[in-house]
Amino acid sequence: MDKQYKKYLYILITTQILICIVVSSILVFLSKDISSHNNDILRMVAIKDTEECMREMVDNTIVRIEFQRKAAVKEVENLMDLSVEFLSNVEENAVYLNSESLLKKINQLEYGKPIKLIVHNNITQHTELFLDGQAINIRDWKKDEQSNELLKSSAIYRSVMIGDSVIYLLAEQSDIDRIAKNYIYNEIHSSIYADNEYIWVNEILNYDGGDNYAIRFIHPNLKDTEGAYVSTNTKDINGNLPYLKELNGVKQNGEIVHSYYFKNKVNDEITQKISYAKIYEPFNWVIATGKPMNDIFVYTDELKDYDERVVNTTLIACLAFMIIIFLVGVLIILSVHRKYRKNIETYVKTEIELDALTGALSRKAAVIKLEEHFKRFKEQESSPVLMMLDIDNFKKINDTYGHDVGDIVLKKVSQTIIANIRDTDFLFRWGGEEFVLLCNNVDVNKQYQLGQKMLRCVNSISFESNQECFNVTVSIGGACFYQEDENYMQALKRSDVALYHSKNTGKNKYTGSNEPSKEVCW
């Protein structure tokens, strides 16, 4: 090892030792900050998980509301259909009597309460609406169902003709929704959620806000406040306006996550609470749930002390392990450096001079290698075989299948040739689709067999693009160094001339040159 390089190695090891000491000191110094940072992450994760759970609770409530609405509509429709079937069998002279009697019976049923009944006589033009056990005369009744306001405003209606009279059964969506609302009210009050959680509902009366912008419809925790008005001017103990923030959030995005201060249900303690609210527009309901911050952080606070102990223990173990590994590494570096230095330098030099696309050596590496081998030839009179290879019809491949496929062809051809040559041989990418192959210790008279081997290797490759399979071929020209040559370029020129002879006489063939001024083709 030369003196300068030895000095560099000692400086490197000393620098590493100093870095190890500095890093160790910094890690020890920052251990508390690491624990604090981990605790912050745990809290952030806990809040995020809580938000997801709250969103799921509210979404599930909305799903149940939709289910109850659809179920109520279906039940009302079924009840109407049964009523129509019953009325179809009523005698004409008993239409009014039976209609009134039927309505009284179905109004006693839960799903029958929204149903109203109208009897219209086409002869007398007399129309009566049966509602809440009373018959109300309707004037200016329009027989055209498309223009009748009562029928148009109904979510469901059925009609049946009995003699000169038409009987209509109808129900408005708002009346049907009362059934669904009642079910949801009872369901939310009877639901039991984990971790001191619950659902509450405010029904918006005025989207502009104000003192009576909403009415509290459901609140299991404060049941005595149900039916009371809610104001956007209400402040929490920190002077914030949580209802105003909630209203603006659901108006703008349909949902909102926010926090405010409230009285805890369990211990009456004033604490911060995180809340998620979502608007259900058909009812003008703001459906919300929340959870006290203290409840969220109970588990994370328990983890904090444990985390600090783990961090400190881990840091000590890591520092000790790092020092041991560093010392062992330094010993290994010193013990094997001499042996592998030359190989590492060769490897680094080769990596730098590799063609990035094909994996072959670069043209710069080719110039160096060819000069070395030409100099060696002049000294030992033993010439390697030079082969110039060119992929046939490569421009057509690019034009037909695209440049991405062309790159794949270049890479695969290069890798196939490399896999079929010896460690003492070298493949260079000379430019574009052109390669130079340098083969050592090959009998000049056997270069044809070697060229044929390369042709077969390339011919065996298959490619696929756009569900179309194709093969490629190469044309090869070979040459050797001669004592008359002044530089390697003369031999390379002969191989290039031989290559073009292969191209011009059919491609996918090998042409060799064994004399300085004469081409011989095998």
**How do residues 97-131 score in pLDDT, each as one tens digit?**
888 888 888 888 888 888 888 888 888 888 878 77
Average pLDDT for residues 342-367, to the nearest whole number?
78
Distance CA 242, CA 225 (A): 17
Rounded alpha-carbon distances, angstroms, from residue 380 to 22, 371, 373, 377, 481: 57, 14, 10, 5, 12
- Is residue 521 over pLDDT 60? no
pLDDT digits (tens, 9 = 90+) for 367-391: 999 999 999 998 887 889 999 999 9
Average pLDDT for residues 32-38, to the nearest whole number?
61
Output the pLDDT for position 68. Answer: 92
pLDDT band at 246 (very low <50, low <70, confident <90, very high): very high
- Is residue 266 over pLDDT 80? no
pLDDT band at 414 (very low <50, low <70, confident <90, very high): very high
Q: Considering only CA atoms, which of 429, 426, 445 is closest in space to residue 386? A: 426
- Is residue 149 over pLDDT 60? yes
The mean of the pLDDT values for the chain is: 83
Most confident of 29-38, 242-251, 379-388: 242-251
Strand runs labelled E in 148-208? 156-162, 165-171, 199-204
Output the pLDDT for position 154. Answer: 87
- Is residue 193 over pLDDT 70? yes
Rounded alpha-carbon distances, angstroms, from residue 156 to 32, 75, 132, 209, 237: 68, 11, 18, 34, 49
Q: What percent of the chain has pLDDT over 90?
A: 42
**Which has more confidence, 328 or 472?**
472
- Is residue 225 over pLDDT 80? yes
Output the pLDDT for position 162. Answer: 87
- Is residue 265 over pLDDT 70? no
Average pLDDT for residues 59-72, to the nearest whole number?
93
Q: Considering only CA atoms, which of 509, 519, 406 is closest in space to residue 451? A: 509
pLDDT digits (tens, 9 = 90+) for 475-495: 999 999 998 999 999 999 999
Output the pLDDT for position 518. Answer: 39
Torsion on CA atoms 52, 57, 63, 68, rounded to nearest 10? -170
From the CB of residue 276, how many other CB atoms can be counted at a distance below 10 Å? Answer: 24
Output the pLDDT for position 330. Answer: 67
Average pLDDT for residues 262-266, to the nearest whole number?
64
300: three-class secondary structure by DSSP: helix
Beta bridge partners of 171: 156
Range with the poorest average pLDDT among 14-28, 270-284, 338-352, 435-449: 338-352
From the CB of residue 106, how many other CB atoms can be counted at a distance below 10 Å? Answer: 20
**Which has more confidence, 249 or 352?**
249
Is the distance from CB of 273 to CB of 292 less than 8 angstroms? yes
**Lookup: tokens for 443:** 């009998």
